[in-house]
Amino acid sequence: MDVLLVGGPSRMMDAMISKFNKAGHRLYLLTGKKDKSISYPHVFARYDFAYDNDSINDIFESIKPELLVFMGAYDTNFDWHRSRQESVRYTTALMNILSAYSMVGKGRFVYLSSEDVYSDSYTSNVPEQEPASPRGFKALAVAQGEEVCENYRKVQGMDTLILRLDHMYCVPRKGQEESSPCFRMCLEALKSGKISANSRNTFSMLFLNDAVELSYKAMASISPESSLYHISSMEEINERQLAELIQEKMGSSVELVDTSVGSNYRLILDGGRFDRDFGRKIFTHYEEGVEQVVQYMKRHSDSFIHAEDAGGGRMGRIWHSIKTVVGRLVPFLETILCFFPFFLLNNMAAGSEYFSKLDFYLLYVLLFAIIHGQQQAIFSALLAVLGYCVHEMGGRSGFEVLLDHNTYVWMAQLFILGMVVGYMRDQLRQIKKDDAEEILYLNGKLDDIADINDSNVRMKENFEAQVVNQRDSLGKIYDITSSLEGYGPEEVLFYAAQVVSDLMNSNDAAVYTVANRSYARLFSATSPEARKLGSSIEYTAMEEMYAELKEGRVYINRTMADRLPLMACPVYEGEEMKLILMVWGIPWQRMTLAEANRLDIVGHLIQNAVVRANRYLEALHNQRYMEGTNVLAPDAFTQLVGAFTQAREKDLTECTLLEIKAEQKDRERAAAALSGSIRQSDYMGVLEDGKLYILLSNTNAEKALGVMERFRGCGYESCPREGAVV
């Protein structure tokens, strides 16, 4: 299955890539921005484009992904510290991705949401049908994203799936912030040596590995019952209990501060619907999950705390403060230091015949206006005015200087020129910045076109190789299933099991023929494991499997029930179920939508051969059976025995041929007497020697003893016949 993941770098993205890769899917990645410093192993093709890029449509058309997973609430491309601006960008990005994906016309869109869509307190666990109550720009944007996905599903018939993860927490990346309560408390402990906790806040948390495993179950499902699921551990914990657990893992140096105020607040998502549809098992509980987070953040504390934090030490805070102050003062210090040379030059030029008309203060102001802009132009002008006044008061009183109108004219000239030049400098810098961004955008578009073309060439070459070599290509599947056309009508079902085994890459496959509306009988199997259900099963009693088979869908054993196959597919003729194909020995990571689709295709292709064989046998019914009896004629029975014998030699079935001790003239009466003691799947016939035989399908020599005893009760002796004529 082709899977496209959409989102920035994060632990969630890494875990998703790992899971889909292990499941055998082909992965594509849309990162949302250009960042070549981060590598993504196991990704087939990577696209470093923004979500609003015009090339998104071309990317989707090139890939045509069967599954698109948008990280949504967990996408690190959105900086929620600027929530007002980011909420608009988030909604725009989602709309662009959804509209582009809807044009593909197939596939499932998965939207990852969170508990943020709820802000109220709930006395019981929150089910999916509870209306969202977002509070804040991020929560509102995430909730609106859910509504957009739901509208696309209802209006355009798009297959969308919304997964709300309940307070997901994980081992963070170095220096990367997380929004979980566990990360917040660990960070507070590292920065200040204290943990603030309110025992009245109650919630449940879900570790990343469990979140990905459970999400994958829903994503890979062929037809989920619902379009919205809550994924939650439903393990209740409050802030104080979590803080005590973190304190225990970090050591006694961390102080616990109780901030229990206000009314009780409880928010736990109800995962009951998910549990019913897919099964829910939590592997990482709080004790080990919190310990992993604490130990990692302690080892890499330098990437999470700053010098000014309490955890950075007193000297670190002092040094950070010094660097901050110096950085802000450098432009002003530069202006002050340069003032003194210009002050001296201006005083020296005052008595010079050649330089008396040159205004060094004006040059000084213009210089800093050109270099630093309007802010430093004003500051340098103030220093120039101060220097001018000091120089003038050398020959006049300060009062006379202040009353001189030339002073104010000169000051106005200085400030006006300085501010105008500074303003023009700032504007020119902004224009250059805009031009650079425009050039960068156009170059980016050119690079995008080149990248898409290169990617298309690589995919074309890969698909060409896949058509020839890959086991799940349609050409390969058709080639293998077409081999059934070369077998006789009696042999088709035997080798159907072998075909299923080959195409599903499993050593354990079985074919059951439906005897009636309740029971099915084993016809052929490729291994003892595939025969473990027995020669006859009441398939309607296997409720979980039967519910899928009667709807014509492939059954996937997601609960790993021991008495059920891992996958099963029905084969219908018209409205009537004729066969059930069953497969065992499939790894968990291959129990996916892609594997189910492959088995479904195999079933339809096998159906053609089976229907052809059945119609051929029905057409020759009168020629195959002796007139007025259910006894196969010598030619037909010889072919049938030969087919069973060859299948037994290839370990595809078990069979026993019994010779009935009856005179030839008594043959018809014996056949009539014994017909009630054999199964629908057994055959009665005559070989070239003229004797009556019964072929017991899926019966070894040991089981045949019971059948021989029944025949004896009917008044006829029998014995096994080995080396039957082929």
398-454 tens-digit pLDDT: 667 677 777 778 788 888 888 888 888 888 888 888 888 888 778 767 766 766 776
Q: Beta strands 255-258 and 536-538: pairing type? A: unpaired
- More reliable by pLDDT, 114 or 299: 114
Spatial CB neighbours of 76, under 8 Å, sequence gap ≥ 6: 7, 8, 9, 10, 176
Quote the mean pLDDT of the chain: 81
Return the CATH number of the domain spanning residue range 1-165: 3.40.50.720
Token pair for 209: 């590995």
Q: What pLDDT is attached to residue 627? A: 66
Mean pLDDT within 527-554: 87
User: Smallest Cα–Cα separation from 164: which of 192, 127, 136?
Assistant: 127
Distance CA 481, CA 601 (A): 10
User: Smallest Cα–Cα separation from 708: which of 656, 648, 637?
Assistant: 656
Distance CA 37, CA 469 (A): 34
Q: What is the 3-state secondary structure (H, E, C) of 246-304?
A: HHHHHCCCCEEEECCCCCCEEECECCHHHHHHHCCCCCCCHHHHHHHHHHHHHHCHHHC
**Which value, in Å, is the radius of gyration of the alpha carbons in the chain?**
40
Chosen CATH of 627-720 out of 3.40.50.40, 3.30.70.270, 3.30.365.10, 3.20.20.140? 3.30.70.270
Residue 320 has pLDDT above 80, yes or no: no
Q: What pLDDT is attached to residue 241? A: 92
User: Smallest Cα–Cα separation from 566: which of 535, 523, 529, 536?
Assistant: 529
Mean pLDDT within 169-191: 87
- More reliable by pLDDT, 627 or 336: 336
Residue 488 has pLDDT above 60, yes or no: no
Helices and strands in the chain, H and E counts: 22, 24
SS3 state at 487:
coil
Token pair for 545: 């499997």
Crossing angle for the helix pair 405-469 and 374-392, to the nearest 10 degrees: 160
Among 248-252, 269-273, 371-375, which range has the highest average pLDDT?
A: 269-273
Token pair for 676: 């009630």
Residues in a beta bridge with 266: 202
- More reliable by pLDDT, 183 or 327: 183
Q: For 17-46, write each residue's pLDDT tens digit.
A: 999 999 989 999 999 888 777 888 889 889
SS3 state at 547:
helix
Residue 392 has pLDDT above 80, yes or no: no
Mean pLDDT within 48-62: 88
Residue 302 has pLDDT above 70, yes or no: yes
Work out the pLDDT band at 65, boundaries 50, 70, 90. very high
Q: What pLDDT is attached to residue 20? A: 93
Judge whether 1-165 and 475-619 match in fold: no
- Contact status, residue 409 vs residue 383, Cβ threshold 8 Å: no
Name the superfamily (CATH) of residues 475-619: GAF domain (3.30.450.40)
- More reliable by pLDDT, 507 or 160: 160
Which position has the token pair 């120089």?
391
- Contact status, residue 565 vs residue 534, Cβ threshold 8 Å: no
- pTM of the shown model: 0.51
Angstrom CA distances, 271 to 70, 91, 127, 160, 206, stand at 21, 27, 7, 19, 11
Which position has the token pair 């994203």?
145
Spatial CB neighbours of 273, under 8 Å, sequence gap ≥ 6: 127, 128, 226, 229, 230
| Sequence spans of domains, the chain | 1-165, 316-436, 475-619, 627-720
Q: What pLDDT is attached to residue 726? A: 35
Work out the pLDDT band at 698, boundaries 50, 70, 90. confident
Out of 9-13, 69-73, 142-146, 482-486, pick the least confident.
482-486
